[in-house]
Structure 1
């Protein structure tokens, strides 16, 4: 009896890979919304508990409400920053530490009331007040792991889609022109005036190479592409911007796409009409690379 060996699944074709990629993106958005749902619930529930605890310890009512939002803002920084980096498979130690610190602070402030009760520790109260913060800690960590796994799977699917793209067939060779039959030269031919080679060349129409569009000329198109990606919840990267611009027939290099992306992130459109919510279908289908 021979031991069975693991065989990796066969590569997907382009259509199946695109469908799998869309499913992963929907899953990522669902996980992101679920984490924020738990976080908002814990923040709202804990605001009343923390404010009541501070009032019971002599803190002035005008400032007693401030502590809970401060801790919540620290947790928001950790959740937003971690979600942005997890989509690209990047780990940030400081964000993880901030997430746990803010989560433990939230748990401590929520459980302090029943834990410091005058008649002794209220174990049931501590358990009830611990459910939300503890759940948020583990949901945030699990979501970060899921997002990193999705980022790895997306990279693999994009590589398979690029590999499955049909290659452009080579152009057939141009046949050589057939030699014309020789004709006898006429006995006498009138002499033609000679023209210099430079004069003949100067009379020919000159062809000018198509000039690639400047970054300034691509800004309106870039804003439309950015609006489309934002509406679909897809982060706009340099390669996706480059491919979307090329789908419209414009010529753009990877470096110029990076410059255009940097300007889109720092400049607002001068005309609101340059920033619609939708762009042509050809850009929508080609801007996810």
Structure 2
């Protein structure tokens, strides 16, 4: 086995194909010479993927990012990155190269990235394929907040339930911003939109790569947490609620603050997505009835 591993490492080191491995925290754990060269990574570096992308964006190199606000682009991209077992897409680099990238994710969250250079394809073919990728991204993203939309996150809930039928753990959390109608009525819909964006941004900063967070409508958001017990889910969510309490999202109203409530339900082997959602929603209702700004489990 050691000989096989050694041969694989030598083969990957000498190929022009870009190869990299990220762990469940999205930290680079291995990259061959071609990958490090394309993304300006030193031989002894093991950066987190968001930090690597941010650094290259600020220096005007690496992946071409068509966005004026990097953090909004990052939030949207992370909402989809590593959420499904396999994904393939095209990406272009600042130096003019065009790559066909694949991501294969294990159940433990580790990801293998492999990219081939397709720069030789005709420009019009690349344009058509890029338009397709942009359309897919738009179909999976909530336009207001930049996180995953209902369609994408519900599909990840289905994936989590499939794993649960094989004996895996998993939880679904449903969030609802407290007194959101009152915020809209008192401060206006613009303020309401700012609160929704602030909530999505702050929660997403603490979402693990294996989890999927998205907006399902109005002021309601959900978080699918594969491989997570109810106890661990509650601990994670309580930290999120604490962070929201200290947020001050309205510059014109610096004293304004808001809270949210959450309900959690564990996956059962006989669950359907609507049934799991119903139990999490019942737990959310219990959290509201018991005073809001708290989490309850089904």
Instruction: Mark yes or no: TM-score above 0.5.
Output: no
Structure 1 length as normaliser, TM-score? 0.25
Which protein has greater RCO, CA pairs closer than 8 Å, 6+ apart? 1
Larger radius of gyration: 1
Structure 2 length as normaliser, TM-score? 0.25
Instruction: Choose between structure 1 and 2: higher helix proportion.
Output: 1
